[in-house]
Amino acid sequence: MADAFDEDCDYLFKAVLIGDSGVGKSNLLSRFAKDEFRLDSKPTIGVEFAYRNVKVSEKLIKAQIWDTAGQERFRAITSSYYRGALGALLVYDITRRATFESVKKWLRELRQFGSSDMVVILLGNKLDLGHSREVSQEEGNHLAEEEGLCFMETSALEKLNVEEAFLLMITKIHEITSQKSL
Ligand code: GDP
């Protein structure tokens, strides 16, 4: 079945979610892939991934998005997680400054293990909790500019910018891969 399906799509892109534990990576993914949100924390530990098909410029793209599923707590993310990934969503929680301060550490890891032309989108998640904000939008923007990343604030809970963030990443990957194949 999977093979038959793969033949139907024009491209298969792998992308990864990274960022500190508890920033909302799994919920961003389940919102994008299944339009679901979970209030409880995820029960299992280990890498998980989900697929969703999207159309970009008349091409059918199968996006395979990997989630660390708790492994980041033990710093057990290995090079195989990043292998073949064309994009990354690097997530922090706007209500927890420490998760923003970790962004540079995640970028170092990404640049060590990931490919140099990977599309990286910085996401400040939990936008619905604006009253408890510890990181301003300007700071997020500034860091993204400094590091050459795209930036968005999202809410997996309230479905704000989630679709947009994934689609931005997928569209940018598509731009890069189609330029390469010219
Ligand atoms: P992960 O460890 O980065 O995968 O984070 P999870 O997706 O497991 O989310 C951690 C906690 O934050 C859970 O209790 C979620 O319900 C909550 N959460 C995730 N995204 C949001 C969001 O956009 N807004 C709010 N208010 N809570 C969120």
The residue with greater pLDDT, 77 or 132, is 132
Q: What are the residue boundaries of the structural domains of the chain, listed by start?
A: 11-178
CA of 68 to the centre of ligand 1 (A): 14
DSSP 8-state assignment for residue 86: -
The confidence score (pLDDT) of residue 176 equals: 92
**What spacing in Å lies between the alpha carbon of 40 and ligand 1's midpoint?**
8
User: Cβ distance 154 to 90 under 8 Å?
Assistant: no
Pocket of ligand 1 (CB under 6 A): 21-27, 38-39, 41-42, 125-126, 128-129, 155-157
Both tokens of residue 94? 């706007």
3-state secondary structure of 37: coil
pLDDT surpasses 80 at 44: no
CATH number of the 11-178 domain: 3.40.50.300
Which burial class, exposed, middle or buried, applies to 170 when counting CB atoms under 10 A from its CB (0-12, 13-18, 19+)? Answer: buried
Position 25: which residue type? K
Mean pLDDT confidence for 159-178: 95
4 pLDDT higher than 60: no
| Averaged pLDDT score across all residues of the chain | 89
Q: What is the ipTM of this complex?
A: 0.99
Of 10-24, 34-48, 65-79, 122-136, highest mean pLDDT: 122-136
DSSP 85: -
Q: How many angstroms does the Cα of residue 158 sit away from the middle of ligand 1?
A: 11
